[in-house]
Amino acid sequence: AQSVTQPDIHITVSEGASLELRCNYSYGATPYLFWYVQSPGQGLQLLLKYFSGDTLVQGIKGFEAEFKRSQSSFNLRKPSVHWSDAAEYFCAVGPGATDSWGKLQFGAGTQVVVTP
Amino acid sequence: DTAVSQTPKYLVTQMGNDKSIKCEQNLGHDTMYWYKQDSKKFLKIMFSYNNKELIINETVPNRFSPKSPDKAHLNLHINSLELGDSAVYFCASSQGPSGKGNQPQHFGDGTRLSIL
């Protein structure tokens, strides 16, 4: 079974500064990887996903993520954060191409606070 | 024209009561899910249905019973509510099971269940 770790529970960043959120996964093969964002009182919204191919993935709201197989990581980045980026961010890993029914495993989340 | 809608949004009730949460998706998806998010924001899958068939049934007390009358609806009934059931419950849907295809999940806004 796959697992996912988000080492940072909480990150504070100034508006306009760059942001990087870490995600490490454990899985025997190439997993499917996702980043979701949860704004207060809302459900989760998909930011981007990686299945195969180009390891640098572009998403919505100016986010990108890079899959690094050697480091088992899928870190999320944004060059310049906006106050509206304050939210909880979840990395999720799925079992990849498989014939069996799989499920997403979510990380514990990273809360991002944006200061003026 | 909400994609995944849950009702009610808030549910406050007493211990021992029985309650239901309803979920509907208008995306034409085949697969629906129930997740529980605890007070630390940890998100854990409870159930998943594909075309009305139960495919994922995690270690959940049998007081929780999902029902899928058709593939656009997945309801969750909870008997004999306990204090530990207090959480946010999210419904989600995807075109196919996340582990069997490259399909991200679309989430509802959640139902905040508080047990007094």
pLDDT averaged per 10 residues, chain B (length 116): 89 97 95 93 91 85 94 96 96 77 83 96
- Number of A/B CB contacts below 8 angstroms equals 71
Bigger pLDDT: A29 or A71?
A: A71
Check if B110 contacts A (Cβ < 8 Å): yes
The answer for residues whose C-beta is within 8 angstroms of residue A24's C-beta and 6 or more apart is A4, A5, A6, A7, A71, A72, A73, A74
Query: What is the architecture, at CATH level 2, of domain A3-115?
Result: Sandwich (2.60)
Decide if B108 and A104 are in contact by the 8 Å CB cutoff: no
* Partners of residue B4 in chain A, C-beta under 8 Å: 43
Domain ranges of chain B: 4-115
Residue in chain A nearest B55 by alpha carbon: A101
* Residue A31: per-residue pLDDT: 83
Q: Which of B29, B32, B102, B109 to mutate to test the interface with A (most CBs of A within 10 A)?
A: B102
In whole angstroms, give the CA distance from residue B103 to residue A49.
Answer: 9
* Residue B89: per-residue pLDDT: 97
Decide if B105 and A43 are in contact by the 8 Å CB cutoff: no
Check if B54 contacts A (Cβ < 8 Å): no
Domain ranges of chain A: 3-115
Decide if B41 and A34 are in contact by the 8 Å CB cutoff: no
Beta strand pairing status for B31-37 and B43-50?
antiparallel
Average pLDDT of chain A is 91
CATH H-level superfamily of B4-115 = Immunoglobulins (2.60.40.10)
Bigger pLDDT: A51 or A78?
A: A78
Please determine, for residue A2, whether its predicted confidence score (pLDDT) is greater than 90: no
* Partners of residue B56 in chain A, C-beta under 8 Å: 101, 103
Exposure letters A16-49 (e unless 16+ CB within 10 A, then b): eeebebbbbbebeeebbbbbbbbeeeebbbbbbb
* Residue A109: per-residue pLDDT: 96
